[in-house]
Amino acid sequence: DLERLPNTSCFVSPGWKGETQVMQMDLAGFAVSSGSACSSGKVKVPRVLRAMGLSDEQAECALRVSLGVETTEEDVLRFCEAWLKQERKTRDRAA
């Protein structure tokens, strides 16, 4: 097990670009980021994601989600439902 921030997770959904996920989740009312925090605003694949073992293609589809001190279980469930809904829409459009 590698060290990690306990409140931050990285999700990869192949074929669904991180930037697109950020926009869709923003429209759903959630603030998330693509890539890694130390590479915000940069175009190349973040070294942190490479160190985690992600390929360039996977890194382009990475979504970073952080939980705050006041984040509730209900907030997490709402996020999961919204993310899955957007993921299904994206897959349906691609089919």
10 is catalytic: no
User: Of the residues 10, 38, 61, 80, which is catalytic?
Assistant: 38
Long-range contacts of 20-25 (CB under 8 A, 24+ apart): 20/90, 21/61, 21/63, 21/83, 21/86, 22/63, 24/86, 24/90, 25/63, 25/79, 25/82, 25/83, 25/86
User: Catalytic residue numbers?
Assistant: 38
